[in-house]
Amino acid sequence: MDMSAAKEIAARAALDELPPSGVIGLGTGSTTKFFIDALGVRVRQGHAYVGVPTSEASRQQSLALGIPLLDDLGPWSIDVTVDGADEVDEHLNLIKGGGAAQTREKIVNYASSRNVIIVDETKLSRRLGERWPIPIEVLAFAHAQTARHLTQCGVAVLRTKDGQVVHTDSGNVVYDLRVAPIADPASLDAALHAIPGVVETGLFVARADVVIVATTQETRILRRLC
Ligand code: 5RP
């Protein structure tokens, strides 16, 4: 499967989930990048959309496309947020944070009336944790100490890129926590939040209203029932 093509198809399908104008939360990642491109076209066609970006990358892309943005302070009343995911389980719970943006993404997600998640089919699993570790944003201060507590839940690996520790847009670090397939994501999320130094987890439990799953052949729309 051409994954990039599938991501673009999912991103374009998300346009159908938008109101004709309004405040749109802008996720982060390669799939959302296609969505922001498509939203930029809509703005140039005259639609009155205003964005709330979840990362500096999404902010820069949006500004380059002429999408007006709200400031970072909030509070916002976001009509719809469109974002990607690393893993989606059969209850539409998510693992996010492959792009180290999960904290801002979760704040924007909670400020949205509706959340639309766009993925290619490879992101689907039966239980979270089958495919992807949980990205945990951790305060830089004493992060090795925080990681020691994380290892009680799984194997915690400090995220690096090109030999350098990755820092989030907020200056924190990320541990990727490999766990066994998760039976109860809400309980695990609560346990992780109880560890001092944990800023936010990549577990998004019951936070997707719609998941758009694309291959190059078909697009499926999964809706959360309650
Ligand atoms: C960033 C995210 C992304 O939405 C997630 O990693 C999916 O990325 P991509 O669309 O590039 O596959 O959570 O923090």
pLDDT in tens, 130-142: 999 999 999 999 9
Q: Ligand 1: which residue has its CA nearest to atom 6?
A: 98
Q: Work out the pLDDT band at 16, boundaries 50, 70, 90.
A: very high
By the 8 A CB rule, do 169 and 55 touch? yes
pLDDT in tens, 94-114: 999 999 999 999 999 999 999
* CA–CA separation, 128 and 207 (whole Å): 14
By the 8 A CB rule, do 3 and 122 touch? yes
Q: Which active-site residues does the annotation give?
A: 105
Q: Work out the pLDDT band at 225, boundaries 50, 70, 90.
A: confident
* CA–CA separation, 72 and 59 (whole Å): 10
Whole-model pTM: value is: 0.97
Domain with CATH 3.40.50.1360 in the chain: 3-125+205-217
pLDDT in tens, 69-78: 999 999 999 9
* End-to-end CA separation in angstroms for the chain: 32
Range 63-72 average pLDDT:
98
Among the atoms of ligand 1, which is closest to the Cα of residue 31? 10
Specify the pLDDT at position 221. Answer: 98
- Which DSSP state fits 210? E
Ligand 1 environment, Cβ below 6 A: 27-32, 83-86, 96-102, 105
Domain with CATH 3.30.70.260 in the chain: 134-200
30-44 vs 56-65: helix crossing angle, rounded to 10:
30
- Which DSSP state fits 133? P
Average pLDDT of the chain?
97
Specify the pLDDT at position 226. Answer: 72
* Sequence-separated (6 or more) residues with CB below 8 Å from residue 112: 25, 78, 79, 80, 81
The tokens for 59 are 């902010």
Alpha carbon 44 to chain centroid distance? 26
Helix/strand/coil for 38: helix
pLDDT in tens, 195-224: 999 999 999 999 999 999 999 999 999 999
The tokens for 124 are 């689907």
Q: What are phi and psi of 164, to 5 degrees?
A: -110, 145
* Sequence-separated (6 or more) residues with CB below 8 Å from residue 161: none
Among the atoms of ligand 1, which is closest to the Cα of residue 83? 4
Could you confirm whether domain 3-125+205-217 is CATH 3.40.50.1360?
yes
Could you confirm whether domain 134-200 is CATH 3.30.70.260?
yes
